[in-house]
Structure 1
Amino acid sequence: MNLIIEIIGWVGSVLIVGAFGLNSLGKIASTSIEYQLANIFGGLCFVINTIHHSAYPSAFVNVVWVFIALFAIFRKK
């Protein structure tokens, strides 16, 4: 189970840092659905990983991260 939790954490890292990198390089816009979905799923992966490790302040930050991305998606509509 620990290996699965670690893989989930790494997937979250790749999604969030990848989205940030692509945005910084001008490949995707911060307002794009792809960017926001990467932040949502990456944040959820981090929430799972940080709760497993009892890192509650980090879990809180990532819950907020997910809500911001959700707000950004629904605000566009």
Structure 2
Amino acid sequence: MINITELIIDTLGWMGAAFYIFPYLQLNTKKWNINTPAYHTCNIIGSLFLTINTLYYLSYPAAFTNAFWGAIAVYGLLKHSTVKSG
């Protein structure tokens, strides 16, 4: 029998991984740069999804790392917004 909660949590984990990998690929292929809002937005979403996943599975070091990654991405997004408007 399928546990719907675990299916949702696992799906969020895989989506979170994709939201980390895709922007990293875009950055390395020079399609995006560090100031691209989509780069930071994808990292924030990936961080949120992976933090949920790792907290569910009680992987606290990974949850901390993912949450911190998201905080850095929020900082980067805000910094980009400030630079562009100023």
TM-score over 0.5 for the pair: yes
Equivalent in the alignment of 2:57: 53
TM-aligned CA deviation for residue 30 of structure 1: 1.8
Greater gyration radius: 2
Equivalent in the alignment of 2:27: 23
TM-aligned CA deviation for residue 40 of structure 1: 0.1
Equivalent in the alignment of 2:78: 74
Gaps of 5+ in 1: none
SS in 2 for 1:34: helix
Corresponding letter in the other structure for 2:11: I
Structure 1 segments (4+ residues) deviating >4 Å:
none
CA RMSD in angstroms comes to 0.7
Equivalent in the alignment of 1:11: 15
Deviations, residues 5-59 of structure 1 (Å, cap 9, x unaligned)? 0000000001100110111011111211000000000000000000001000000
TM-score in terms of structure 1 length: 0.96
Give the aligned length. Answer: 77
CA distance in 1, matches of 2:76, 2:26: 18
Corresponding letter in the other structure for 1:53: Y
TM-score in terms of structure 2 length: 0.87
CA distance in 2, matches of 1:53, 1:59: 9
Gaps of 5+ in 2: none
